[in-house]
C-alpha cells in the first residue's frame, strides 16, 4: 500500500508554485526539475553538467596555477591610448557608434581588416569581409549556412574545443585527421575524405588552424599548405582557415595564409581577440562573394549587426596606435612565457612525457606516459593547485585521454614554472598509481564523454 500515490504526470508545475506557510498540505509527485525536458531540440544533446567543468571552477581561484585557460594577457595594452580613442569616439561619432549599423560590419574597419590580412599575403576587398562577434561567431555562421545534421566536417586531431562545440550544436559529424610536427598530414586528409565519401556521407568543409594550433601548438609548413590546398582543390573540399594566432609568431614573420593562394576555395577567419582585446568581441570572415552574401544574411538573423561601438573602438585603436609595435611587444611577452614553460617541462617532467615547442601562439601539447589518463588525473592536479585541459576536450570521438593542453598565455613565467613543477609531482603520483593497477586500455577505447562540453569557460585565465 502506498502512502501517497505518485502523480501520473510530471509535477514540475506543482513544484513551481509550492505552497507557502507551514500549514499547507504536502505536495507529491514526480519531477525532473526542468519543465521543458521533453521539448529541447536534439542539438542540446551533450549540453549537460560536466565533472571536468566543475573542476575548472576551482582553477579560477588564485591559489591554483591555471595552465588551463586561453585568456590572452592584455596587461600591456596602452589603456590611456584606448581610453582616449574611445572618449573621442563617443564625443565625435557617438550617434553613429551607439546606433544599429550594417550587418556586414563597419566599412572603415573592413578596410583596416584587409590591411591586417595583407601581412599574411592576403589580397582582399573590404566587400568580401563580414565582421562577426569574435571569430567564434564566424565559425557558427559558416556552419549555419553550410551544414545540415549529419554532414561531415573534417578537423585536425586534436582540434579547437570551441569549434567542436559549434559543430556539435549543428549536429555535424566530425571526422578527425592526424597532424604531425608539420601540421595536418596530407595522407591522413586524403584518407579521411575517401573514408567519409565511401561511407556515403557529405563533407562540407575542412576546418584547420594552420598557425600555432590550438591545442596542438604546431604550425603547418609552407610545403604542407600547398599540398593541403591541392588535395582540397582536387577533391572539391572547402577550407575553413581559422587564424586567431597568426600574427603571434615568436621567431619569424607571419606565414602566408592558405587564403592567400586560393581565394575561391578558402574561407578565412580572423580575430582581434589575441592581438588587441578579446572583450570587444570583434572578429571576421573573409569569404568568396556568394558565401559572403549568405553570411551577411545569417549575421542579420543572428544579431542584426555586430556591435557598432566595439567595431569603431577597434577601428579607432588601429588608427591611433602603433598596433604593429604592440603586437611585437605581445610576441616578446608570450615568447618569454613559452620559454619558461618549455624550460620547466624539461626540468621537471618525467622522461616518458613528450611535448612540442611552439613557435607562436598560446599552447603546448603534452603527451603523457602510456596508460596515464589526463581526464582521470585532473582532480589530483586540482588538489595540488594546478590545472590543465585534458586532451579529450579536443576530440569529438573520445580520443585524447593520453594528452593534455598547457597554456602559457596568462600566468607569469614564475607561476608557469611553479605550475609545471606541481604538475610533474601530480603526474609522478599518477604514474605510480597506474603502475600499481596495471596498464590502461589503449586510447580510443574510451567511452564518449557524457557531456560534450568539457572545455574551460572563456573566463578562466
Partner 1 sequence: MNHPVVVLAGGLSHERDVSLRSGRRAAEALRGVGLEVVERDVDGSLLSTLAAEPPSCVLPMLHGENGEDGAIREVLDLLGIPYVGSGPAACRTAFDKPVAKSVVERVGIVTPESVCLPHESFRELGAAQVMDAVLHRLGLPLVVKPARSGSALGCALVSTETELPDAMVGAFAYGPVALIERYIGGTEVAVPVIDDGTGPRDLPAVAIRPDGPIYDYTARYTAGSTEFTVPAALPDDVLAECARVAIAAHQALGLRDLSRSDLIVGDDGSVRFLEVNVAPGFTETSLVPLSVEAAGLDLGEVLASLVRAAMARDARTTT
Positions touching partner 1 (CB under 8 A) are 1-6, 15, 18-34, 36-37, 40, 48-51, 53-55, 57-58, 61, 63-64, 373, 376-380, 382-383, 385, 430, 432-434, 436-438, 440, 450-451
Min dist CB 352 to partner 1, Å, is 17
Contacts of 296 (CB under 8 A, 6+ apart): 103, 104, 130
Q: Which is nearer to partner 1, 203 or 378 (CB)?
A: 378
Min dist CB 33 to partner 1, Å, is 5
Q: Which is nearer to partner 1, 4 or 75 (CB)?
A: 4
- Alpha-carbon distance of 457 to 55, in angstroms, equals 11
Q: Which is nearer to partner 1, 26 or 290 (CB)?
A: 26
Sign of the alpha-carbon torsion through 32, 459, 366, 381: negative
Copy the grid coordinates of residue 126.
Answer: 573590404
Beta strand 152-157 pairing with 173-180: parallel
**3-state secondary structure (DSSP) of residue 181:** coil
Q: Which is nearer to partner 1, 254 or 391 (CB)?
A: 391
Q: 404 φ, ψ to 5°?
A: -150, 160
- Alpha-carbon distance of 43 to 47, in angstroms, equals 8
**Residue in 387, 279, 356 with CA at minimum distance from that of residue 61:** 387
Copy the grid coordinates of residue 263.
Answer: 581565394
Q: Which is nearer to partner 1, 265 or 371 (CB)?
A: 371
Q: Which is nearer to partner 1, 49 or 351 (CB)?
A: 49
Other Cβ atoms within 10 Å of 288 Cβ, number? 15
Q: Which is nearer to partner 1, 106 or 373 (CB)?
A: 373
Q: Which is nearer to partner 1, 17 or 252 (CB)?
A: 17
Min dist CB 58 to partner 1, Å, is 5
- Alpha-carbon distance of 3 to 14, in angstroms, equals 19
Beta strand 239-242 pairing with 203-208: parallel
8 Å CB contact between 274 and 245: yes
Min dist CB 176 to partner 1, Å, is 24
**Residue in 454, 457, 388 with CA at minimum distance from that of residue 419:** 388
Min dist CB 436 to partner 1, Å, is 5
Other Cβ atoms within 10 Å of 303 Cβ, number? 14
Min dist CB 457 to partner 1, Å, is 11
Min dist CB 4 to partner 1, Å, is 6
Min dist CB 35 to partner 1, Å, is 9
8 Å CB contact between 130 and 284: yes
Amino acid at each position: 500500500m502506498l502512502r501517497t500515490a505518485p502523480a501520473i504526470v510530471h509535477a514540475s508545475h506543482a513544484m513551481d508554485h509550492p505552497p507557502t506557510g507551514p500549514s499547507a498540505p504536502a505536495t507529491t509527485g514526480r519531477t525532473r526539475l526542468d519543465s521543458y525536458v521533453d521539448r529541447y531540440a536534439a542539438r542540446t544533446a551533450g549540453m549537460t553538467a560536466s565533472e571536468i567543468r566543475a573542476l575548472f571552477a576551482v582553477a579560477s581561484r588564485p591559489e591554483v596555477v591555471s595552465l588551463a585557460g586561453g585568456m590572452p594577457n592584455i596587461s600591456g595594452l596602452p589603456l590611456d591610448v584606448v581610453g582616449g580613442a574611445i572618449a573621442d569616439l563617443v564625443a565625435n561619432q557617438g550617434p553613429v557608434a551607439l546606433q544599429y549599423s550594417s550587418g556586414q560590419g563597419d566599412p572603415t574597419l573592413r578596410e583596416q581588416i584587409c590591411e591586417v590580412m595583407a601581412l599574411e599575403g592576403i589580397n582582399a576587398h573590404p566587400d568580401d569581409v563580414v565582421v562577426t562577434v569574435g571569430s567564434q561567431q564566424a565559425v557558427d555562421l559558416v556552419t549555419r549556412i553550410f551544414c545540415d545534421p549529419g554532414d561531415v566536417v573534417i578537423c585536425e586531431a586534436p582540434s579547437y574545443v570551441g569549434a567542436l562545440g559549434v559543430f556539435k550544436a549543428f549536429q555535424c559529424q566530425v571526422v578527425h585527421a592526424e597532424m604531425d610536427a608539420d601540421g595536418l598530414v596530407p595522407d591522413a586528409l586524403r584518407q579521411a575524405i575517401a573514408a567519409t565519401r565511401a561511407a556515403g556521407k557529405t563533407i562540407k568543409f575542412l576546418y584547420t588552424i594552420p598557425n600555432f594550433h590550438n591545442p596542438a601548438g604546431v604550425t603547418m609548413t609552407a610545403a604542407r599548405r600547398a599540398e593541403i590546398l591541392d588535395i582540397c582543390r582536387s577533391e572539391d573540399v572547402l577550407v575553413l582557415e581559422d587564424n586567431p594566432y597568426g600574427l603571434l609568431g615568436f621567431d619569424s614573420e607571419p606565414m602566408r595564409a592558405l587564403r592567400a593562394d586560393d581565394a575561391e576555395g578558402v574561407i578565412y577567419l580572423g580575430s582581434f581577440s589575441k592581438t588587441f582585446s578579446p572583450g570587444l568581441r570583434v572578429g571576421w570572415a573573409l569569404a568568396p562573394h556568394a558565401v559572403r552574401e549568405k553570411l551577411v544574411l545569417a549575421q542579420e538573423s543572428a544579431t542584426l549587426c555586430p556591435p557598432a561601438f566595439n567595431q569603431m573602438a577597434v577601428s579607432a585603436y588601429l588608427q591611433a596606435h602603433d598596433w604593429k609595435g604592440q603586437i611585437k611587444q605581445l610576441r616578446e611577452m608570450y615568447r618569454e612565457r613559452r620559454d619558461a614553460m618549455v624550460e620547466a617541462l624539461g626540468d621537471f617532467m618525467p622522461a616518458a612525457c613528450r611535448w612540442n615547442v611552439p613557435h607562436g601562439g598560446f599552447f603546448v601539447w603534452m603527451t603523457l606516459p602510456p596508460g596515464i589518463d589526463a581526464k582521470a588525473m585532473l582532480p589530483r592536479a586540482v588538489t595540488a593547485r594546478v590545472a590543465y585541459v585534458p586532451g579529450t576536450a579536443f576530440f569529438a570521438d573520445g580520443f585524447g585521454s593520453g594528452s593534455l593542453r598547457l597554456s602559457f598565455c596568462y600566468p607569469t613565467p614564475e607561476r608557469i614554472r611553479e605550475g609545471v613543477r606541481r604538475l610533474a609531482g601530480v603526474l609522478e603520483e599518477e604514474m605510480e598509481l597506474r603502475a600499481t593497477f596495471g596498464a590502461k586500455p589503449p586510447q580510443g577505447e574510451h567511452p564518449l564523454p557524457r557531456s560534450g562540453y568539457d572545455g574551460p569557460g572563456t573566463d578562466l585565465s
